[in-house]
């Protein structure tokens, strides 16, 4: 018995790189999908995404979301209906399956891969008892035939009657779809279709098309237990003593069966107390960066040993290009290690510590779903949290380091706003206490907390749990991820679904590593040391 050459299955996170490469081969006249967008498509509704492999090579991909007929059957644009390609407009209540992507490797066309992917969508719609499938289809020969037709509707009529050939429209008609109109300005960059699209529909014959939608998002339970460590600054004799303090809190959180533990930003500054003399800001950062391999190894070993996902606050790390970045080490209990760089160093970090900003922010896949990390000041830039939400994050961790109540409240208020506007949980962790002769640890202010959206399923004040001010402690709370799905579909407000893509959007530059965070103008910061968090 030989191995099957062709496999069609649900897409996996591990397929993202290959899907992006396929899109690049297929869409020579478009800007191809980024891995970030594909990650969002899979995280937001993986059940609607399928891939086709031939001889172990990915040759086909399609993406779909559920959406209500009030949106899917009225005029719309591609950005609006898909959340600009991230699939973030997915509605678990939706009674229609909306297909917004299907691509097949050009060298394998003729093997009916597209038909097989369409069939997977059809089987999904039938299994879920949806009313049908709808999408906007390209008309790639419209521009070539423009002078011979009286607009897009006339072109479509001539294709249907066989007077004009359009391979895409004919393919869709052959697969049981019927046009219900023309969508204007559907995909502005589709020059060959002159930005028009056919509004195509397949109606499920096994459901009553006149019946009112019966589904509501089930108020299920998908509990995740999170712990935030409000860490006391203390003098340590060496690296091992510092790690014993960290290990203590990891052990306690694991005993309480927490899925995550979050440590504060720059929590490793305590290591500088072991130095014989106080170091200058630049010397301090250089010395701390030397600990990076040992910290990474120690946190990873603890995550495996205690069966807990560790969000390692942040630590100054020298990158391959020689720059120092402020990096959160995320060590998962499966043994994998991920990193998230701070995108926006504060003026003090950039000026006194010469810390550079990173170039990308993306979700990290965990056994509890995708999560994101925004280090302190980054939480004050709403574009970053929105990108994480688009990629599917349901929990955003915010390690912070602030010396004053004003600085803390900046981070706290912004973190609460990120929880509300993205309908996610936000977990904060900060340092407390003071440590003489260590730059930026002279005074600390923190009240670590676990924040929620403000709606009926959540805590009354949007606070699942919070620590006492300026006291070392571990704060633990269960959060129900299923409540987020309910809120996004049926909540009092639906911030993600109600965005106006016809008015505004965010475009991300695709950069390499090494953003220049030290190019700051104006006078030096007033403080003479430290990051100046928040």
The two beta strands, 132-137 and 197-203, are antiparallel
In this structure, how many other beta carbons lie within 10 angstroms of the beta carbon of residue 524?
11
331 tagged catalytic: no
> Token match 């050939």: residue?
165
Give 348-387 as a DSSP string.
HHHHHS-EEP-S----EEEBTEEEEE--GGGGG-HHHHHH
Cβ atoms of residues 425 and 479 within 8 Å: yes
Distances (CA, A) of 245 to 271, 342, 397: 12, 25, 21
Torsions phi, psi of 198, nearest 5? -85, 130
Active-site hit among 103, 229, 331, 376: 376
**What letter does residue 266 receive in the DSSP assignment?**
T
Q: Dihedral sign, CA of 510, 513, 514, 517?
A: positive
Beta bridge partners of 309: 260
CA distance linking residue 74 with residue 122, whole number of Å: 21
376 tagged catalytic: yes
Sheet holding 50-54, edge to edge: 6-10, 50-54, 57-67, 96-104, 132-137, 197-203, 178-183
24 tagged catalytic: no
Active-site hit among 265, 380, 391, 472: 265
In this structure, how many other beta carbons lie within 10 angstroms of the beta carbon of residue 14?
8
Active-site hit among 62, 84, 229, 342: 342
Q: Which of the residues are catalytic?
A: 265, 342, 376
């Amino acid at each position: 018995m030989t191995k099957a050459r062709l496999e069609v299955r649900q897409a996996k996170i591990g397929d993202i790189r290959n899907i992006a490469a396929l899109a690049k081969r297929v869409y020579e006249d478009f800007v191809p999908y980024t891995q970030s967008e594909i990650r969002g498509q899979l995280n937001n509704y993986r059940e609607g995404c399928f891939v086709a492999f031939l001889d172990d090579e990915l040759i086909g991909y399609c993406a779909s979301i559920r959406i209500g007929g009030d949106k899917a059957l009225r005029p719309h644009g591609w950005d609006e209906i898909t959340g600009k390609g991230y699939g973030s407009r997915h509605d678990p209540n939706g009674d229609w399956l909306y297909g917004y992507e299907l691509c097949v490797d050009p060298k394998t066309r003729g093997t009916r891969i597209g038909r097989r992917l369409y069939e997977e969508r059809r089987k999904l719609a039938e299994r879920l008892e949806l009313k049908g499938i709808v999408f906007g289809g390209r008309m790639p020969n419209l521009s070539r035939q423009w002078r011979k037709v009286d607009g897009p509707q006339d072109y479509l009529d001539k294709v249907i009657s066989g007077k004009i050939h359009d391979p895409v429209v004919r393919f869709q008609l052959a697969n049981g779809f019927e046009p219900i109109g023309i969508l204007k300005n559907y995909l502005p960059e589709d020059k060959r279709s002159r930005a028009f699209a056919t509004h195509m529909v397949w109606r499920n014959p096994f459901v009553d098309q006149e019946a009112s939608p019966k589904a509501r998002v089930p108020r299920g339970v998908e509990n995740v237990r999170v712990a935030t460590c409000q860490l006391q600054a203390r003098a340590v004799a060496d690296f091992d003593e510092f790690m014993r303090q960290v290990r203590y809190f990891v052990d306690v959180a694991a005993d309480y069966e927490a899925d995550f533990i979050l440590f504060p930003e720059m929590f490793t500054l305590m290591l500088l107390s072991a130095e014989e003399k106080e170091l200058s800001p630049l010397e301090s950062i250089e010395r701390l960066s030397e600990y990076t391999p040992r910290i990474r190894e120690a946190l990873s070993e603890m995550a495996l040993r205690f069966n807990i996902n560790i969000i390692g606050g942040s630590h100054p790390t020298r990158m391959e290009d020689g720059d120092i970045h402020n990096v959160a080490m995320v060590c998962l209990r499966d043994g994998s290690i991920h990193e998230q760089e701070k995108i926006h160093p504060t003026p003090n970090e950039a000026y006194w510590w010469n810390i550079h900003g990173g170039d990308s922010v993306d979700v990290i896949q965990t056994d509890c779903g995708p999560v994101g990390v925004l280090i302190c000041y980054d939480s004050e830039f709403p574009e970053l949290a929105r990108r994480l939400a688009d990629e599917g994050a349901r929990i955003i961790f915010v390690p912070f380091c602030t010396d004053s109540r004003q600085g803390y409240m900046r981070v706290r208020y912004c973190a609460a706003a990120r929880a509300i506007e993205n309908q996610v949980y936000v977990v904060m962790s900060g340092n407390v206490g003071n440590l003489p002769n260590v730059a930026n640890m002279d005074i600390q202010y923190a009240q670590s907390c676990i924040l929620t959206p403000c709606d009926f399923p959540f805590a009354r004040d949007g606070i699942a749990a919070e620590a006492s001010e300026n006291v070392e402690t571990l704060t633990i709370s269960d959060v129900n991820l299923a409540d987020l799905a309910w809120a996004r579909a049926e909540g009092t407000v639906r911030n993600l679904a109600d965005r106006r893509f016809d008015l505004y959007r965010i475009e991300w530059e695709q950069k390499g590593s090494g953003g220049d965070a030290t190019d700051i103008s104006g006078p030096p910061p007033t403080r003479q040391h430290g990051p100046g968090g928040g």
